[in-house]
Amino acid sequence: MQARRYILVMTLLAGVILLAGNIAAQKLLAGARLDFTEGKLYTLSDATRVTLRDLAEPVELTYVYSRRVGQDYPAIQAHAARVRELLATYAAESGGNVRVREIDPKPFSEAEDEALAAGISAIPAAGSDPLYFGIIGRNTIDDLRLIPFLAPERETTLEYDLTRMIARLDNPTPPKVGILSSLPGMRALNAESGYVVLQDIGRSFTVEQIPEDFHSLPEMDVLLVAHPGPLTVRQEWLIDQFVLRNGRAIFVVDPAAKTALSGAMFSATDSLARSGLGRLGAAWGVELAPQAVADAANALTVPVDSFGGRIEEMAHPLFVGVPAETMSREDPITADLMRVINFGAPGALIVNDLPAGETFAPLITTGPSPSYIDPARAARDMGPNEVLQSYMTEPAPLVIAARLSGNLSTAFPDGPPPMDQPADPAEAEAARAEAANLPPHIAASQTPAEMVLIADADFLADDFYVVPGSGMVVADNGALLLNALDALAGRGELSRLRSRAASLRPMDRIDTMRDAAEAQYFRQQSALESRLSTAQARLAELQSAASGDGFFAGDPEAELTEDERRELATLREDILSIRASLRDIERDYRRDIDQLESTLKAINIWGGPLLVTLAGILVWRRQTKRRRGKA
């Protein structure tokens, strides 16, 4: 065979082999991948794999994304690619039980009708067409679950949201959570108007609000008691009996709940800010310390009013940010948390003669040298300096959150207390009817208890972990509570998905440069603007004195002395100079960042071609030397 024909045949054969290899690889290696990202962004967690493996029936996920509209928003476009890749991984890992399709809801199309009928949100965009960006989930009996809008700021919970949707489609009945709370943000009848964490609970569970004057407790999987109001003895007995029968409860108590006093008059009783475990805690061997806790080692930097009405950023020991690495790495509630949890004037859980058969396991503790602070002062606006003046170091860390497990004994060994009698006859009759249907009193656990105790109520408030306006979550406050609910409701494997790392990592060097530039810029700008304001005020004063409305009306500066004229000329020059300096500061504000950006662009654009060129020159020189050596 001639060499030319041989080359042609081999080229065609190589192309066929390459094409066949690609087709075979798509089939055989669809789920194979190497993940070199720091947070293992493209590796499904064990919890997701278990959920996909245990699916009883196929699930269909319809990915709704307006491609053309999304291209106008880089953050949306990047997040859309991330969602698409994750859905493909789900389909590959499920062995055919998760079927994924994508639709582009263009205006007046059948795809748009399908998206709107399912309930996908139409987000107004810059152009005339809205943005659709969500997921529709269906099972074989046409149960429907939605993610109406895939917000980029919720990327860290993307895998959790998808896995939870699939689990809900496989088992449509979610666990039921009863909430007893005095906090307005946790008592909202409409979850969308409450705290962000209440909205998140509503997405994962069926929520039932328990009224403060309850005479019985509803059927539920988990009881959440979040800073309750004053409880009657009968109500404490009802909670005691629920814990002994069901064993699943979360108690969020606080000696100095700042959020409970928000909106209240300064003269409001400080009892609003305090809640505790009462006689229940005494029976369990655990109590809430009467004082609040300050922690200088984990103090958060917060804006504080300083002298002269200025706002300064200062470390405040009553605002505690506990880093994830110091939390329990053994309990699934905190094992996979990756961010700080922020508390406000928290309390401490104290163990007193823990009964046999119980286990008290700390989940979150303070730094090594905390201090107790008067709760009445801590609940109000106590400044950092006041806290430090009252700081009395404790010899060991204090427990802020813990898990209490085991067989419990009743806090009412003498039996049920008398029933509360409402004043209204109709309500009294209803209360008697409810009491008649209550199960008999028991003295010990029928189900071993698994409870979570948290000594702070402020961590539930949006202000402690959500950026106002953007909805961006910056701490794992909500994840802590949701993980606890998942673990107690029997779905602990899902709790490991809430703190996945974000794919868009911050550029730390640029952030540092920007912070330094802003600090210098605002400091210089403030000083120059102060000088400018003083100079302009003096200039206006001199010009008013030199108005020339008398004998020297034709000469506006004739009524000024020689010194005042020189001062007036100097002020005008200073004002021009200050304005020029302000323009220079504004121009130099981004100079270093722009230089770094230009350098990176040059490396990205020219670095590759230069390396290829250098490699080509090295290969050419080596071949040239070999030829000369052979010659």
Question: What mean pLDDT is predicted for residues 572-591?
Answer: 68
Report the distance separating Cα 511 and Cα 357, nearest Å.
52
Do residue 185 and residue 246 come from a single domain?
A: yes
Report the distance separating Cα 318 and Cα 295, nearest Å.
7
Position 71, amino acid: Q
Q: Is residue 610 part of a domain?
A: no
**Which CATH number belongs to the domain containing residue 106 in this structure?**
3.40.30.10
Q: Which helix H or strand E contains 302, and what residues bound it?
A: strand 299-305
Nearby residues of 192 by Cβ (< 8 Å), 6 or more positions away: 199, 202
**Which CATH number belongs to the domain containing residue 411 in this structure?**
3.40.50
pLDDT tops 70 at residue 297: yes
Which of 4-8, 121-125, 385-389 comes out lowest in average pLDDT? 4-8
pLDDT at 554: 43
Q: Is residue 600 part of a domain?
A: no
Q: Is residue 611 part of a domain?
A: no
Secondary structure E strands in 386-439:
399-406
Do residue 52 and residue 137 come from a single domain?
A: yes
- Residue bearing the bigger pLDDT, 583 or 130: 130
- Last residue in a domain, options 144, 164, 184: 164
> What does DSSP say about strands 144-147 and 131-138: parallel, antiparallel, or unpaired?
antiparallel
Q: What share of the chain in percent tops pLDDT 70?
A: 79
- Last residue in a domain, options 136, 164, 192: 164
Do residue 251 and residue 339 come from a single domain?
A: yes
Q: What share of the chain in percent tops pLDDT 90?
A: 42
Question: What mean pLDDT is predicted for residues 477-485?
Answer: 93
pLDDT tops 60 at residue 550: no
Do residue 86 and residue 128 come from a single domain?
A: yes
pLDDT at 64: 96
Q: pLDDT confidence of 276, banded at 50, 70, 90? A: very high
Each residue's pLDDT tens digit, 424-437: 787 778 777 877 88
Report the distance separating Cα 372 and Cα 362, nearest Å.
19
Q: Is residue 425 part of a domain?
A: no
Do residue 522 and residue 403 come from a single domain?
A: no
pLDDT at 404: 96
Report the distance separating Cα 577 and Cα 251, nearest Å.
63
Each residue's pLDDT tens digit, 201-211: 988 899 999 99
Do residue 183 and residue 248 come from a single domain?
A: yes
The whole domain housing 103 covers: 42-164
pLDDT tops 80 at residue 34: no
Which of 131-135, 329-333, 345-349, 469-473 comes out lowest in average pLDDT? 469-473
Which of 94-108, 184-198, 452-466 comes out lowest in average pLDDT? 184-198
Do residue 309 and residue 446 come from a single domain?
A: yes
pLDDT tops 50 at residue 540: yes
Q: State the Cα angle at 341 between 338 and 346, rounded to 5°.
A: 155
Q: Is residue 613 part of a domain?
A: no
Q: Is residue 505 part of a domain?
A: no
Nearby residues of 36 by Cβ (< 8 Å), 6 or more positions away: none
pLDDT at 331: 86
pLDDT tops 60 at residue 87: yes
Q: Is residue 516 part of a domain?
A: yes
Do residue 221 and residue 351 come from a single domain?
A: yes
Each residue's pLDDT tens digit, 55-79: 888 999 999 999 999 998 988 999 9
Each residue's pLDDT tens digit, 170-197: 887 889 999 999 999 998 866 567 899 9
pLDDT tops 90 at residue 134: yes
Q: Is residue 432 part of a domain?
A: no
Which of 254-258, 359-363, 545-549, 610-614 comes out lowest in average pLDDT? 545-549
Question: What mean pLDDT is predicted for residues 519-547?
Answer: 62
Report the distance separating Cα 156 and Cα 505, nearest Å.
12
Burial (CB < 10 A; 0-12, 13-18, 19+), residue 613, is: exposed
pLDDT at 551: 39
Q: State the Cα angle at 166 between 168 and 339, rounded to 5°.
A: 95
Q: State the Cα angle at 177 between 171 and 182, rounded to 5°.
A: 160
Total domains in the chain come to 4
Do residue 92 and residue 151 come from a single domain?
A: yes
In this structure, how many other beta carbons lie within 10 angstroms of the beta carbon of residue 434? 15
Q: pLDDT confidence of 553, banded at 50, 70, 90? A: very low
Report the distance separating Cα 21 and Cα 414, nearest Å.
78
31 and 93 Cβ atoms separated by less than 8 Å: yes
Do residue 462 and residue 488 come from a single domain?
A: yes
Do residue 47 and residue 86 come from a single domain?
A: yes
pLDDT at 159: 86
- Residue bearing the bigger pLDDT, 352 or 172: 352
User: What count of Cα atoms within 13 Å lies in the side-chain half-sphere of residue 442?
Assistant: 17
Q: pLDDT confidence of 552, banded at 50, 70, 90? A: very low
Do residue 390 and residue 478 come from a single domain?
A: yes
DSSP 444: B
477 and 197 Cβ atoms separated by less than 8 Å: yes
- Last residue in a domain, options 114, 143, 164: 164
